[in-house]
């Protein structure tokens, strides 16, 4: 599992504390357990399995990455689907209303029968006019 590159150190809160459970004097005297929290999402991971603070920190990073990477992938695919849908449809044909709407010039409607017969020039001209006005 690779670490998500858009997560920076400043986005994380790293806490060290004394672990619970058996271990005796060593466990009671050292802050070897580690909890890492991703501040933006509130997702956290902790580790207190090892004796070393460094090992527990590595383990907590791995556990946090295992939680964050799928969340980020899901967010990316959700955004990609929205973007693909928004660019997929350019023109809508209303057979019942006998009208054609082009999303690039939403204020205009075009004749259905003429468009179906291949007369796309009025639509093309309207798109060019709209682009010229925007410039």
Residues 19, 54, single domain; the answer is: yes
pLDDT given for residue 126 in this prediction: 92
**Spatial separation of the C-alpha atoms in residues 78 and 1, rounded to whole Å:** 21
Helices (H), 1-120: 24-29, 53-88, 112-116
pLDDT given for residue 43 in this prediction: 94
Residues 60, 21, single domain; the answer is: yes
Residue ranges making up the domain that contains 93: 88-134
CA dihedral of 83, 74, 43, 10, whole degrees rounded to 10:
-50
Residues 94, 44, single domain; the answer is: no
β pairing state of 91-94 and 44-47: unpaired
Q: How many domains are contained in the chain?
A: 2
Mean pLDDT of successive 10-residue stretches along the chain, which has 135 residues: 72 91 74 92 92 92 91 79 64 88 89 89 91 86
Q: 76: exposed, middle or buried (C-beta count within 10 Å: 0-12, 13-18, 19+)?
A: exposed
Residues 65, 92, single domain; the answer is: no
């Amino acid at each position: 599992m690779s670490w998500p590159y858009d997560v920076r150190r400043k986005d994380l809160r790293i806490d060290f504390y004394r672990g619970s459970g058996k271990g005796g004097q060593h466990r009671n005297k050292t802050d070897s357990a580690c909890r890492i929290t991703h501040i933006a999402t509130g997702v956290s991971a902790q580790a207190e399995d090892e004796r070393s603070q460094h090992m527990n920190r590595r383990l907590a990073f791995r556990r946090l990455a295992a939680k964050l990477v799928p969340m980020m992938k899901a967010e990316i695919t959700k955004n990609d689907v929205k973007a693909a849908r928004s660019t997929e449809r350019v023109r809508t044909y209303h057979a019942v209303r006998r009208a054609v709407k082009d999303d690039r010039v939403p204020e205009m409607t075009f004749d259905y029968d003429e468009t179906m017969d291949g007369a796309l020039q009025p639509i093309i001209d309207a798109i060019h006019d709209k682009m010229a006005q925007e410039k």
